[in-house]
Amino acid sequence: MTSTPIPEFDAFSELQFAIQLADIADAITLPYYTSRDFSLDWKSNRTEVTEADRNTETAISNEVLQHRPDHCFYGEEHGVVGDTSSPWRWIIDPIDGTSNYVRGIPVWASLIALTHAELGPVVGVVSAPAMGTRWWAARGLGSFADGRRIHVSDVADIAEAQVCVTFAKGWDDLGLTGELVKIQQAAYRARGFGDFWQHMLVAEGAVDLAIDAVGLQEYDLAAVMVVVEEAGGTFTDRHGARTFSSDTAISSNGRLHEHAKMLA
């Protein structure tokens, strides 16, 4: 977590704005999900996209462009809009977990982050209305789940740890699936919650080490990175670099992060 002062940044105000954006997202995503009445298409990478994804991103981008005209906006569905020269960029995944969303599984969320070109993510909101939970954080203000301050665990022994691993073809391609299995076997208990939730469970102290899939994008990671780090956790890619711009992500309570070094 950086201690460098962030220029012209009101953490509380920007966090409140991000929470307002989450309210907008929930008002669109949850009714579609509840009614099961939405169109479904497939993107070129063979992942699902719905009108709920597109409409949510459009509504959020319109709000950002109206109230933060000097900021840039980057969303999963529509790309980059706004002031592309700005060091400030809002990064949005309108529905993280669209596969769950279309199947009626409630583990999906809108991910909303404000990033700075030099300092990375500084505000993050993860809103999962079908689960009835919202997480948020801003640099220097801590992490919260529905208003409750959260913190990572203090488990220091992998044999006592709860770990979460998301298996995917990318791990097979890297020849590392066997290493993931070894990590699970060394742990007290292994689970596969997937997507944003595994990282939020690390931030809450319920899971001690979470290893995400291969093939991630910035909009998958920017918001969750803030929440994990402000909760006292460690967030890196598989090589150990602190970043939200890699195609892999590992979060932990910090004490157990070394057990993922075999994935580098």
Which two structure tokens, joined as six digits, stand for 202? 């690390």
Report the C-alpha gap between 219 and 217 in whole angstroms: 5
Structural tokens at position 137: 């954080």
Cα separation, 54 vs 50, in Å, equals 7
Say what the pLDDT of residue 3 is.
52
Same fold, 11-149 and 158-263: no
Rounded distance between C-alpha atoms, residue 38 and residue 41, angstroms: 10
CATH number of the structural domain 11-149: 3.30.540.10
| pLDDT score for 48 | 62
Q: Which residues pair with 30 in a beta bridge?
A: none
The one-letter amino acid code at 96 reads: D
- What are the Cα distances from residue 190, in Å, to 42, 120, 208, 235, 259? 31, 31, 10, 19, 14
Taking residues 72-77, report their average pLDDT: 91
The domains of the chain are located at: 11-149, 158-263
| 229-260 residues labelled b (16+ CB within 10 A) or e (exposed) | bbbbbbbbbbeeeebbebebbbbbbbbbbebb
Rounded Cα distance, 76 and 64, in Å = 15
Given pLDDT bands bounded at 50, 70 and 90, which one contains residue 264? confident
| pLDDT tens, position by position, 201-246 | 999 999 999 999 999 999 999 999 999 999 999 999 999 999 999 9
Reduced to 3 states (helix: H, G, I; strand: E, B; else coil), residue 120 is: strand
Encode pLDDT of 57-74 as tens digits.
Answer: 999 999 999 999 999 999
Q: Is pLDDT of 148 > 80? A: yes
Mean pLDDT score of the chain: 93
- pLDDT in the model for residue 6: 60
For 244, list phi and psi in degrees, rounded to 5.
-115, 10
Cα distance between residue 196 and residue 126, in whole Å? 8
Q: Tell me, which fold does domain 158-263 have in CATH?
A: D-Maltodextrin-Binding Protein; domain 2 (3.40.190)
- pLDDT one-digit tens code per residue, 239-249: 999 999 999 99
**Which pLDDT score, from 0 to 100, does residue 1 have?**
45
Q: Is the pLDDT of residue 46 over 60?
A: no
Phi-psi region at 129: left, alpha or beta (left = phi > 0; alpha = psi -120 to 50): alpha
pLDDT tens digits, 25-45 = 999 999 999 988 776 665 545
Q: What is the pTM of this model?
A: 0.93
